[in-house]
Amino acid sequence: MEMQELLDELYSYSLHGIKLGLENIQKICEALGNPQNNYKIIHITGTNGKGSTSTIIETVLLKAGYSVGKYTSPHILKFNERIRVDGEDISDKDISEIYKIVKEKIEELKITPTFFEVTTAMMFLYFSRKKIEYAILEVGMGGRFDATNVVQSDIAIITNVSLDHIEYLGKTIYEISREKAGIIKEKSYVIIGDNQEDFLKAIKEKTENFVDVIEKYKSVDYKLNFEKFNTDIFLEDKKYQLSLFGDYQVKNFLCAYEALCKLEVPKSIIEEAIKEVIWQCRFEVYRKNPITILEGAHNIDGIKNLKQIIEKEYLKDEVVLIVSILKDKKIKEMLKVCQEMSNNIILTSLKENPRGLSAKELYDYSDKNKVFISIEDMQEAYTYAKSLNKKIIIVCGSFYTCEKFKKEVELC
C-alpha cells in the first residue's frame, strides 16, 4: 500500500467521530500483548501546555542519555510527527508495518475504533518494539476516557484546566477537572500546574498526594527576552534559559522540572537541555524580517496568553494578526481578544478542514469594524500583512492555521 493510500485509510477512521471510552483500546492492546506495559509512563493532560511540557521533558531525558518515546497531537505538517522515538519521527516504513499489525487485530476483534484509538495502539506497539525506557504521552482529549488512559502512569501531570471541549468534557471547571484527573493512578506521582478552587477540589477527590508547582516554586521569577525570543527563568539560585517563549511557558517548565527532579536528572543537564527545546507553532519565530510568529493559540486561554506577551513589547498599531479559528471554539470571544492586541486583523480560511470556516464566515462572527479584513487565500493574506509594514506579524487561532501557513506561504 502506498503511503498516501495508507494515510487516507487511517484518516477514514475519523468518520467514526470522537468516542470517549476505553473498551476498544483495551481490546486492541490486549490483542497486541499489552505493549503499553513495557516502559515507564509520563502521562500529561491539560487544556493548554501539554505539548510544551512533554517536549521539555523529552529534550532533557534525551540529553540525560535515556531512550524516549513521545506521543502528541495534532501534527503540524506530517502524521509522522505524532509518534517520535529518540527525537526522530516514526518513518513511513514503520508506520506501514505497525498499521498492518494493528489493522489485522482490529479486523479479528470485529470492532470499529476511532482514528485516535488506532494511532494510539500503533504508538504503544511501536514504542515497545523500539525498547524505549520512557514514554511521554499527551492526552488527546480530557483524560478519564481518552485512549491513552489504558496506561498505569509513573508520573501524571495536569498542566491546567479551562473551558474547552465542553460538549464532551463538561460545562464547568470542576467537571472538566474531574475528567482530566482520571489519568491519576494509584502509583502515579502527581504534578499540577493550576490552583483554581474547583480544579483543586476535583484533584483532591482523586488524591491528596500531589505537588502543586505554583505553590512549591512560588519564589520563581522570569523575564521574557524579546531579542532572542526565549524565557529566562530564575529558580533555586539558577538561571534557566528556556528556548520556548512566553509567560505561560514558565508553568509548563515548572511541571516538567518537577517531573525531571523526581526522575533524578541532574540540574546541570536540565540547564543545558532546555536551551535546545524546539516545539513547532508555540511562538515559533518563523521569519525575522519582517518578524513572523506562528502561535497555535486555539482557544480563549491561548489567545489571552498570546495577548499578555504581545502587549509587553508592542503597541496595537505595530501588530498584524493573520487569524483563522475552528467553528467549535469561542470565536466571538477570541476575536475580541485579538482586537485588544492589534488594529490590523486579517481573517483567513480553514474551510478545507471539517471544523474550519471560510474567511467570510469568520468575518461574520466579528463586529465588522475596520480592524478586520477577510482574505481567503493564505499567501495573499501574508502578502497583504507584509505590505502594512508593521513590526510583527502573528499567525494564530489554530494549529491548523499554522500548518496551512507552513505549507502554502512562500517566504520571499
Tens-place pLDDT, residues 142-166 = 788 999 999 999 999 999 988 765 5
CA dihedral (224, 230, 236, 238) positive or negative: negative
* Residue 354 pLDDT: 84
| Most confident of the ranges 29-33, 141-145, 301-305 | 29-33
The fraction of the chain above a pLDDT of 70, given in percent, is 96
**Is residue 353 pLDDT above 90, yes or no?**
no
- Find the largest Cα–Cα distance for the chain: 60
284-408 and 3-276 share a CATH fold: no
d(CA 155, CA 39): 12
Residues 358, 324 contacting (CB under 8 angstroms): no
The domain ranges of the chain are: 3-276, 284-408
* Residue 163 pLDDT: 72
**CB-based burial label for 64 (10 Å; 0-12, 13-18, 19+):** middle
d(CA 282, CA 396): 10
Q: Which fold has domain 3-276?
A: UDP-N-acetylmuramoyl-L-alanine:D-glutamate ligase (3.40.1190)
Q: Going along 66-220, which residue ranges are E strands?
A: 68-71, 83-85, 88-89, 134-138, 155-158, 189-192, 210-212
Q: Give the distance from CA 402 to its chain's centroid.
A: 13
* Residue 91 pLDDT: 97
3-state DSSP assignment of residue 388: coil
For the domain spanning 284-408, the CATH number is 3.90.190.20
Mean pLDDT of all residues in the chain?
93
Residues paired with 190 in a beta bridge:
156, 210
d(CA 343, CA 128): 51
The residue behind cell 500500500 is 1
Arithmetic mean of pLDDT, 192-217: 95
Q: Give the distance from CA 386 to its chain's centroid.
A: 28
**CB-based burial label for 39 (10 Å; 0-12, 13-18, 19+):** buried
* Residue 170 pLDDT: 66
* Residue 411 pLDDT: 67
Residues 409, 82 contacting (CB under 8 angstroms): no
3-state DSSP assignment of residue 238: strand
H helix intervals, 154-287: 166-169, 173-180, 197-206, 213-216, 249-262, 267-273
The residue behind cell 488524591 is 207
d(CA 276, CA 69): 18
238-242 and 230-235 strand pairing? antiparallel
d(CA 8, CA 348): 26
The one-letter code for the residue type at 104 is E
Residues 411, 290 contacting (CB under 8 angstroms): no
pLDDT tens, 250-291? 999 999 999 999 999 999 999 999 999 998 888 999 999 999
**Is residue 412 pLDDT above 80, yes or no?**
no
